[in-house]
């Protein structure tokens, strides 16, 4: 290092120039200000024993040097990375991005960073995501599993390591840990009851894969609504499919080609229902007179299309917020894990032109 005969602020600027080409550390700040490392550390963490003037100088120099706390070192000391992983199966609909926003807002307020993984409805990708998050030493995990997932051993690894996992939307009853869901059964029951009350009797259901619990719950709500009104269940009107829109198109056409086609359709979600509306209109049928349609989730598009889609609204942002809150509750307990909780949020039926 060159010997510099500078004074005051100029001396500080020259020393800063010399160290600025590498990641600044507490040692660099201490040397530049001629302070001890412990004084700088206390100033950065807001310790009350540091004079206000000294703290101000330290914070100013830290900003000039673009100083960042060494999270790796902190994590080694505390056994925490202040990082939470979130795994979701798709980004095609508005649902999962909005859930993530709700969760991230709560986690950020608590000082946690978020790593988001997209499994793309692939079991193999989901397993790879969990391995990557384990290697990143996340403190906890929020998960909505893929439609392919039937083996949950990759999540049991987190349980064995004491890392809390909270499932949301697509929950897993066979695993411990807290869960957040909506009243899928009740929402489906009300939706089908609404169709029946408008005079519909041959109500079809495009269901999701039976590997997903909310698909099973919505199917059961559909079935019990038919039974409640003494309407026979026709297996020909129930199709479980893989949630891809090209298949939805095929199956809606199949239903409309039946010798006795349906006069209404309850869809597993809004993207499926919107695809059904397109098919029905393309065949010259009237909505809702010839075929009524109800979706599930209240996608923003459902209020913009013509006719507007009747749907079951669910509090998407609140799902994320509740999932994050349950995870933080687990993390705050340290070694004494609180009992797992299951939160079920209410749904509501929004009636639009696709049914009345």
pLDDT at 344 over 70: yes
Return the pLDDT at 41.
75
Return the pLDDT at 8.
43
Return the pLDDT at 25.
83
The full set of domain ranges for the chain reads 8-69, 80-181+316-345, 184-315
Whole-prediction pTM: 0.80
Return the pLDDT at 226.
98
pLDDT at 167 over 70: yes
Cβ(12)–Cβ(20) under 8 Å? no
Segment 276-305 shows an average pLDDT of 97
Return the pLDDT at 24.
81
Is CATH 3.30.70.1230 the right assignment for the domain spanning 184-315? Answer: no
Closest CA to 138 of 72, 80, 76: 80
Tell me whether the CATH fold assigned to 80-181+316-345 matches the one assigned to 184-315. yes
Is CATH 1.10.260.40 the right assignment for the domain spanning 8-69? Answer: yes
Return the pLDDT at 69.
64
pLDDT at 13 over 60: no
Return the pLDDT at 6.
35
Return the pLDDT at 88.
98
Alpha carbons 79 and 330: distance in angstroms, whole number: 15
- Terminus-to-terminus CA distance in the chain, angstroms? 81
Return the pLDDT at 1.
38
pLDDT at 14 over 80: no
Average pLDDT, rounded, for the chain: 89
Residues 28-74 pLDDT 10s: 888 889 888 888 878 877 777 888 888 888 888 888 888 776 554 54
Cβ(32)–Cβ(18) under 8 Å? no
**CATH code of the domain made up of 80-181+316-345:** 3.40.50.2300
Alpha carbons 48 and 262: distance in angstroms, whole number: 73
Return the pLDDT at 284.
97
Dihedrals phi, psi of 36, to nearest 5 degrees: -80, 155
Residue 342, sorted as left (phi over 0), alpha (psi -120 to 50) or beta, turns out to be beta
Closest CA to 69 of 91, 105, 44: 44
Q: Name the band, by pLDDT with cuts 50, 70 and 90, for residue 297.
A: very high
pLDDT at 98 over 60: yes
């Amino acid at each position: 290092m060159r010997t510099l005969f500078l004074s005051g602020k100029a001396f500080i600027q020259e020393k800063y120039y010399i160290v600025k080409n590498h990641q600044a550390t507490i040692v660099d700040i201490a040397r530049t200000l001629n302070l001890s490392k412990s004084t700088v550390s206390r100033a950065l963490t807001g310790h009350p024993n540091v004079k206000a003037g000294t703290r101000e100088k330290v914070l100013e120099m830290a900003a000039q040097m673009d100083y960042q706390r060494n999270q790796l070192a902190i994590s080694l000391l505390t056994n925490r990375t202040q990082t939470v992983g979130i795994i979701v199966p798709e980004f095609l609909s508005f649902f999962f991005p909005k859930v993530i926003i709700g969760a991230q807002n709560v986690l950020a307020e608590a000082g946690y960073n978020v790593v988001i993984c997209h499994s793309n409805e692939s079991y193999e990708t989901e397993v790879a995501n969990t391995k990557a998050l384990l290697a990143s030493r996340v403190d906890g995990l929020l998960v909505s599993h893929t439609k392919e997932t039937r083996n949950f051993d990759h999540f049991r690894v987190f349980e064995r390591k004491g890392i809390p996992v909270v499932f949301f939307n697509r929950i897993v009853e066979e695993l411990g840990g807290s869960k957040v869901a909506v009243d899928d059964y009740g929402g489906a029951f009300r939706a089908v009851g609404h169709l029946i009350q408008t005079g519909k009797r041959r109500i079809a259901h495009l269901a999701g894969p039976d590997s997903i619990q909310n698909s099973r719950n919505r199917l059961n709500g559909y079935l019990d609504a038919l039974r409640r009104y003494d309407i026979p269940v026709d297996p020909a009107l129930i199709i479980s499919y893989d949630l891809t829109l090209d298949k939805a198109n095929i199956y809606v056409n199949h239903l409309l080609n039946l010798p006795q086609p349906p006069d209404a359709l309850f869809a597993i979600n809004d993207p499926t229902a919107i695809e059904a509306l397109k098919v029905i209109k393309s065949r010259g049928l009237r909505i809702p007179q010839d075929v009524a349609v109800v979706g599930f989730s209240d996608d923003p598009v459902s209020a913009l299309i013509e006719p507007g889609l009747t749907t079951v609204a669910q509090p998407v942002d609140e799902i994320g917020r509740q999932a994050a809150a349950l995870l933080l509750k687990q993390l705050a307990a340290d070694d004494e894990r609180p009992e797992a909780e299951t939160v079920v949020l209410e749904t509501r039926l929004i009636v639009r032109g696709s049914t009345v």
